Structure 1
């Protein structure tokens, strides 16, 4: 008499009795095997939870280090404009410091940031930054293609 309960075999009372056939030991597949199987599953689950927690901690540490490094890098430029970033995610949300950083790095004059506090004003400032970056990427691509010794921006293999 056997039934399944959460991937562990559960046997009737008779299955738990020592058997003469096995020298007084519990029969294979009986209660002892079920306990061992459950113990193995618990150990695997514990190991998996430990590793997942460890991975999560390493990811958080990596994010913290990257955030700290990028904040210091930005502040090294923004100090010229007497600006500072304390919390990267909060301070860049309105787009003002981002516009100023791009202006300092590029040496070009960018549009004046909108000083409003509404969400739409913040989005407008971030979009100004992204538009500027987009034009710079296009200029870089055009310059790279014109410098191509193959005579164009085909990017394909050179054939003789």
Structure 2
């Protein structure tokens, strides 16, 4: 089955299949086995081919957040219709929600600020790991739901964006 995944600003077209006890990831003529085994304390062992590493994984809808070697990565499954809407200027990224429960460590913007895609909006902490929340597109900060030090649940609305000139 063919899929498109977005990692950072790069979009990757891949195919997934199942094997005995593993998934197989097919990309650009290469195939690699992938497994994810739950450990303890919210951690998991991610194995890609012959390489294994301990990670923390949280999901929200089509978003997967992976904490790996002190860095946080967001992987998003992009449905073909969503990709088409985004290329037509859709506003699917207006509401930025918490990928996991946590607290606000830093707020880098204020209501009314114009932001650009990739710009840091706030930094959150969950399970003693910091995650930077960045603007998914250009826009204007319409609302900030939390201040530094406040806590929130998974899927809480953190930031609301508006198109430039509409806030």
TM-score above 0.5: no
Query: TM-score, normalised on structure 1?
Result: 0.23
- Higher percent of residues as helix: 1
- Higher percent of residues as strand: 2
Return the index of the structure with the highest Cα Rg: 1
